[in-house]
Structure 1
Amino acid sequence: MITFEHVDKIYASGEMRVHALKGVSLHIEPREFVSIMGPSGSGKSTMMNVIGCLDKPTSGTYVLDGIRIGSASAKQLSAVRNQKIGFVFQNFNLLKRTSAIENVELPLLYAGKNKKERRERAEYCLELVGLKDRMHHKPNELSGGQQQRVAIARALSNEPAIILADEPTGNLDTASSEEIMGIFKQLNDSGNTIVLVTHEPEIAAHTKRIIWFRDGKIESDRPNLERVSL
């Protein structure tokens, strides 16, 4: 599903160079549930950007679902993001004046699906996250946890190969965070591959594998034995 081989990522601005990833190698199989952790500046956000095809590696090899990302054109990368990856962000990134179901339909609109296909798929995805009865509500009529559930439904709409979640519980209270992680667990149990970035150990504890970054390198990569044994 995801393979990194000796990946470096260097950002250059004038004479300044920031070596954000340093020789990173890893493999993530289909159906895994992985968290990426590390202190500020460790490279975890850069790692998420590269996995999500928002950035290309400076050197090394990255293969996503059989596609070599380093040699892909901008148009190909856009297609990969739209077809292979579902994004979930800390700030939800919902259109404020648009209903929940219309927010979920948006990726399907970009994918060229007709109105009937969009509506049926969006309703199904909202039902998966327990929000079908709120599908005509706008974001300001929903709680933070409900807004994040809409964002998860939107991420699922194009049936992506992988779901990437960047601090998905960062703006939520403890109870809502537990609800969101419960949804991710159900999705993973149903076969979805999930990779999330978090700085919260209690959130990472819900995942089956924890990768810890420091100074642009993988410091540790271990199974979460308590979670795996469940």
Structure 2
Amino acid sequence: MNEAEDYAYIELNDIWKIYKNEDDVIHALSRINCSFKECSFNIIVGPSGCGKSTLIRILGLIETPSLGNVMINCENTSDLPQKIRNSIIRDEIGMVFQSSNLIQTLNAIENLTLPMLSSDNEKAKDLLNKVGFNDYNKYPNEMSIQEEQRVCIARAMVNNHSIILLDEPTGALHSKESFEIMELLLELNRSEGLTIILTTNNKKLSQFDCNMFEMIDGTILNRTEHTS
């Protein structure tokens, strides 16, 4: 584990994201240099509109940076063909968003088995149990927001992904529910060896044992590394 703790699994090297709208030029991200160790738990905190969601999409290989490199497991992903990027997403990266995006016509088990490389009901049940959800036949419109997020977290792990990216996963939850989801994620980080990167505008979440990155106006200003 000591080797894993010293290993920069994900690196962002001088990342910029620039959007052009006629004569307007918008720097959504600028001069981002940071790294995330394997099996680490990381929170990117900042106000709405500071670029957190754009950063998560770039980390998740959904978008490419205008400038700079995204290194995953020592591989520069920024210049890869999209087909290869898609294979990295399939094999390595699970994503959770503030809006659950569960398929409303499928129950919890079916929402998990659909994206599986090989459909497996027992594996789906095991993952749902790990996130504290055992009402397997429940449909999204019958779930609370917290239950939906638990199912989404399970879905993000269906193909043995090692990286889980979460964009404002507690944004629609009450304080107690937010803390319960954070405790769940910390437990999964420890028990499953997941590398977790989570965005939030809730500074109260800084009390958890994690590495903190403060983001404002499209760049990361400060980093506080958890050392215990």
TM value normalised by structure 1: 0.89
CA-CA distance at 1:207 after TM superposition? 4.5
Match of residue 101 from structure 1: 109
**Paired residue for 1:19, among 27, 35, 44?**
27
Match of residue 49 from structure 1: 57
Match of residue 203 from structure 1: 205
CA-CA distance at 1:212 after TM superposition? 0.7
Distance in structure 2 (CA, Å) of the matches to 1:99 and 1:152:
15
Match of residue 212 from structure 1: 214
**Structure 1 gap segments, 5+ residues each:** none
CA-CA distance at 1:175 after TM superposition? 2.3
- Counterparts of residues 38-187 of structure 1 (less than 5 Å): 38-108=46-116, 111=117, 113=118, 115=119, 118-132=120-134, 134-187=135-188
Distance in structure 1 (CA, Å) of the matches to 2:114 and 2:182:
24
Please state whether the residue corresponding to 1:97 is helix, strand or coil: coil
Distance in structure 2 (CA, Å) of the matches to 1:87 and 1:209:
19
RMSD: 1.5
**In proportion to residue count, which structure has more helix?**
1
**Structure 2 gap segments, 5+ residues each:** 1-8
Distance in structure 1 (CA, Å) of the matches to 2:143 and 2:46:
31
Distance in structure 2 (CA, Å) of the matches to 1:99 and 1:204:
34
1:210 and 1:223 in contact (8 A); partners too: yes
| Deviation beyond 4 Å, 4+ runs, structure 1 | none
> Is 2:6 the partner of 1:5?
no
Q: Supply the AA of the counterpart residue of 1:125.
A: L
CA-CA distance at 1:131 after TM superposition? 1.4
Please state whether the residue corresponding to 1:172 is helix, strand or coil: coil
Q: Deviations over 1:89-117 (max 9, x none)?
A: 11111111210011111220xx3x1x4xx
Q: Supply the AA of the counterpart residue of 1:137.
A: K
Distance in structure 1 (CA, Å) of the matches to 2:93 and 2:206:
21
Distance 1:100 1:209, change over 3 A: same
Distance in structure 2 (CA, Å) of the matches to 1:192 and 1:103:
21
Question: Kindly, what percent of the aligned residue pairs are identical?
Answer: 35
TM value normalised by structure 2: 0.90
Q: Supply the AA of the counterpart residue of 1:11.
A: Y
Q: Supply the AA of the counterpart residue of 1:83.
A: D
